Structure 1
């Protein structure tokens, strides 16, 4: 039994090494630079070892994305719980979402723009995805008289994503992100539910 436990720990450690290395390469050089050849050289394992843990590069990106959603959930939870009042939660969470995207562009791409098989709202949705959405939902739930919280959360999620991507691609005026978030949240707080 001890040998099997050790082998499982080694497999888990190699898997973490692969995803951490992929993320590091992506953050420094972009996802196009992340290839099985580059990964195997960086971690000093053969390409077949990579394929033993992941069936494809898309599977590696997906694993990085799942880790990212776990980190996003923690970031949003900290922002929400650090709010002085319930009315402050939504603004802090929206700013935390935007900040997370700005600080982790390649990770954010893995989570939101690269092709994966990850799905929200499905029976097999990985827990970190549901937790990240749940943290945003908790903040949206502070809006008085909000009736369809799930739909409102999806719309806010999409609007924040749009602001992130447009800002990152220099399609919006620089230096006005906080102002845009304030305008967006004002609309959410005053909209008929």
Structure 2
């Protein structure tokens, strides 16, 4: 077998193992929470030795960071889809609904992205492309606000995150969710 085919197969196998480890971490976290996601537990879940997991990620935090980055890729795609599907209507409202739906439908993933103390840089030169892509979907909501677009996107994101977290922790009554979103959208909707 030619050397390049062997290298390609090894790379595919490595990527498949990595995806399997990330998938197992997500499943365990959704069922039992992030404290249950340990290297030993994942090793048992997927029948790979602990050294294999360490070879891929270096540490438990490395695994959680990889899950968080995958989550940012997913939320970025969800926000992009919400933004692009609006023909008539309010793009800000569509993106807000997609964000809050993502947070509600994937609570463990959302938690690892935003609430666990991971070393994932935000707003820095080392920020992963997946985070930059997700944030760019919020920036796209404020095209006519060039000098303030980044701050507006940050404040919109902070507002959505606050609503998502307060809802997740049951500090906001469910009954006013539509009204909250409507008023938030009004605050961040600017004439074209």
- Per the normalisation by structure 2, the TM-score is 0.92
Structure 2 distance, partners of 1:178, 1:157, is 17
The structural deviation recorded for 1:178 is 2.0
User: Could you say which residue in structure 2 is the equivalent of 1:181?
Assistant: 181
Is the CA contact (8 Å cut-off) linking 1:77 and 1:135 kept in structure 2? yes
The CA RMSD measured in Å over matched residues stands at: 1.5
TM-score by length of 1: 0.91
Partner in structure 2 of residue 16 of structure 1: 19
Aligned partner (choices 77, 82, 107) of residue 80 of structure 2 = 77
Distance 1:178 1:69 in 2: 25
- Structure 2: runs of 5+ lacking an equivalent: none
Matched residues in 1 for 2:173 and 2:147: separation?
34
- Distance of 1:189 and 1:82 partners within structure 2: 17
Structure 1: where are the runs of 5+ without partners?
none
Residue number in structure 1 paired with 2:113: 111
Find the counterpart in structure 1 of residue 38 from structure 2.
35
CA distance in structure 1 between the aligned counterparts of 2:14 and 2:63, rounded to whole angstroms: 15
Q: Which moved more, 1:112-121 or 1:62-71?
A: 112-121
How many residues were matched structurally? Answer: 187
Q: Out of 67, 71, 94, which is 1:68 matched to? A: 71
Q: Does 1:92 align with 2:85?
A: no
Q: CA deviation at 1:95?
A: 0.8
* Aligned partner of residue 121 in structure 2, secondary structure: coil
